[in-house]
Amino acid sequence: MLKDNFFTGQPLFTQLLKYLPKGSIHSTARKLKTDHYCKKLTSHYHLVIMLFSVFQKCNSLRELVTGMMAWQSRLKHLGFNFYPRRSTLSDANVRRTHEFFEQVYYALYNQHKDKFLPDSRSVNDRLYIMDSSTFELFSDIMGGAGDFSKNGKRKGGVKAHLVIQAKHLIPEICYLSEARENDRILMEKVHLQQRSILVFDKAYTKHSQWQKWTEQDITWVTRMNKNAVYQVIQQMPISKSQASKGILCDEYVLLGRGSNPSTEIIPARRIVFYDKSKKRQFTFLTNNERYQPYTVACFYKKRWAIETKFKSIKQNFQLRYFLGDTANAIKIQLWCALIADLLIRIVNAVANKKNWSYSNLRGLIRMHLATYVNLIAFLNAPEKALGRLIINENSQLSICLDST
């Protein structure tokens, strides 16, 4: 008897793919015409292959294709009866636009965002963090940033701009660009709900956009540049409790220089905070007049969560070696890494056991991607689910031996 007859159900990887919005995938493919002139390697199958590559941390097209060949029998549940050649997959990464994978990510997020919807009554659930991180490339494919190397060349790089929800570390806004692009390119794309709180660093200095967020009832918190020009309007008293926490100054100012017509003059609140643990002084800017000064300082302290997010993506997914040498192929791989990250967050939210560390959960899924075990039962109790699987296999094997 064939080995496949000893198992029931579907492999864990197939169960993960069930969370993908299949209807949105097909409608997006029709809208962007990404399946035109494609005989077998459809957009859906291309997405599945790239997700397999991301989960398995494949370093090359040969590794990916041979892995898919070994998985051919396990993908019959999805209707895929062939494996692509390296040349076919390479051409698809060049020709099929990365916008398809981008829209799949947002469709997946919108379909399952009820699991991560913030509670408007909680301040922490309304906190968002904005930042960017660069993934270096070995050849000058996309424009890099920084100093030139000794040979007079500058490495290429792709920059990922994210706005994440601080509590669940879920990217709500994603944008990919060349590394040489200014971080401020993301600011006009940020549209949040009223009463949201947005935290960002000094790279996002643009007074006109800050004022728009103020008019949209969005609280923003950032650090003040050393060369910023301001005029003090009102000095606010500092209570003893706030002073004991490190607050040195709380005042209302006008930001901007009247002699520079390109810089809009806007009102803001300036807070000076001394961190006793780091023995450093920080100056924050915000448009909020209601929060206590120390609360504003704590908001900015939580900005470190997005650095942890970038570190997690870089460590848990293969984003050092890319499967293509074009900007489109690189962006496809990055979008698929974000989709895989979101899938892991979704199944973790669905499972009853919530205390998984991300690296452990990611490692378990990668190790058992081909295992025929119930996904949610496995996440709730891995040893118990695998024990039942072994018992089931042994019982089926004994039945087959007895019948012979």
Query: Mean per-residue pLDDT for 83-110?
Result: 93
pLDDT at residue 369 above 70?
Answer: yes
Report pLDDT for 377: 84
Best CA proximity match to 90, nearest among 56, 122, 46, 126? 46
DSSP letter (8 states) at residue 224: P
Which of 113-127, 138-152, 277-291, 367-381 bottoms out in mean pLDDT, i.e. has the lowest? 138-152
Reported as a single tens digit per residue, the pLDDT across 292-323 is: 999 999 999 999 999 999 999 998 898 888 88
Reported as a single tens digit per residue, the pLDDT across 187-202 is: 999 999 999 999 999 9
- Give the pLDDT band of residue 69 (cuts 50, 70, 90): confident
Task: Tell me, yes or no, if the pTM score tops 0.75.
Answer: yes
CB 61 within 8 A of CB 323: yes
pLDDT at residue 31 above 50?
Answer: yes
Report pLDDT for 1: 37
Q: How many CB atoms lie under 10 A from the CB of residue 269?
A: 21
- Give the pLDDT band of residue 131 (cuts 50, 70, 90): very high
- Give the pLDDT band of residue 264 (cuts 50, 70, 90): confident
Q: Cα dist. 374→175, 368, 371, 379, 389 in Å?
A: 34, 11, 9, 9, 9
Any residues with CB less than 8 A from the CB of 237 and at least 6 apart, and which? 250
Position with higher pLDDT, 2 vs 250 = 250
d(CA 281, CA 303) in angstroms, rounded, equals 17
CB 273 within 8 A of CB 297: yes
Position with higher pLDDT, 174 vs 137 = 174
Report pLDDT for 401: 41
Which of 44-58, 129-143, 181-195, 386-400 bottoms out in mean pLDDT, i.e. has the lowest? 386-400
- Give the pLDDT band of residue 150 (cuts 50, 70, 90): low
- Give the pLDDT band of residue 335 (cuts 50, 70, 90): very high
Which of 171-185, 220-234, 358-372, 387-401 bottoms out in mean pLDDT, i.e. has the lowest? 387-401
Query: Mean per-residue pLDDT for 378-386?
Result: 79
Structure tokens at 67: 């892995």
Computed over every residue of the chain, the mean pLDDT equals: 85
Query: Mean per-residue pLDDT for 148-155?
Result: 53
Reported as a single tens digit per residue, the pLDDT across 346-355 is: 988 888 766 6
Angle, alpha carbons 226-230-234 (nearest 5°): 125
- Give the pLDDT band of residue 120 (cuts 50, 70, 90): low
Query: Mean per-residue pLDDT for 242-263?
Result: 85
Amino acid occupying residue 322: F
Best CA proximity match to 253, nearest among 236, 270, 271? 270
CB 63 within 8 A of CB 2: no
Cα 56 to its chain centre, rounded Å, is 18
Which parts of 158-200 fold into alpha helices (H)?
none
Query: Mean per-residue pLDDT for 324-339?
Result: 92
CB 137 within 8 A of CB 159: no
Query: Mean per-residue pLDDT for 144-154?
Result: 52
Which parts of 201-292 fold into alpha helices (H)?
207-215, 240-244
Report pLDDT for 287: 95
Report pLDDT for 180: 85
DSSP letter (8 states) at residue 78: G
Structure tokens at 256: 């901007």
Report pLDDT for 2: 41
Query: Mean per-residue pLDDT for 209-229?
Result: 94
Residue 362 is inside which H or E element, if any?
helix 358-367
